[in-house]
Copies of this chain bind each other. A is one copy, B any other.
Amino acid sequence: MTATAPPWPLSSFPGPQDSPGFTLWRDFTRWQRSLNAALKPLDLTQPRFAVLAVCGWLTRDGRDITQQDVVDFLGMDRMHISQIASRLDRDGLILRRASRTDLRAKVLRITPAGHDTLARAMPLVETHDRAFFHRKGTP
């Protein structure tokens, strides 16, 4: 007996390229890679930009927000947001201080430098995404 190749029809799709999850993964990583490249001059990444933008959005009327508010808005893990917020704090784009009404919570505030960076980043992101999503194929 010789070694035989394993049988393929393991999948109901002709090939991996035809699986929607496979293409979602590939398209997402391409989008993120491309946007990260556009944001590199500002020392931002797509997730850093997103958290910064959400901070700006949720505090647009001067309200205080906590990390948990960002978690709820983004629907993401609280540890993840903690990591990103910690680095944004380290880099001077946001401030974090303990809330006076809930000593567990940390109130987030965008610094002037953070707001300036956000204002510069926004048109880069919108220009990028307009180009990226206009041609829906693989860019």
Contacts and interface: CB of A to CB of B under 8 A. Distances in A.
Interface of A: 4-6, 8, 10-12, 15-16, 19-22, 24-32, 35, 46-47, 50, 53-54, 56-57, 59-62, 73-76, 110, 115, 118-119, 122, 125-126, 129, 132-133, 138
Nearest to A28: B28
Contact of A31 (B10, B24, B60): B24
B50 A25 contact: yes
- What is the copy number of this chain in the assembly? 2
Nearest to A110: B6
A53 to B, nearest CB: 6
A6 B46 contact: no
A60 B54 CA distance: 47
Contact of A16 (B53, B110, B138): B53
A53 B118 contact: no
A21 B122 contact: no
Given A31-B21, A46-B25, A110-B6, A11 B53 contact: yes
Contact of A32 (B6, B15, B25): B25
Contacts of A20: 129, 133
Contacts of A4: 62
Contacts of A12: 126
Nearest to A114: B6
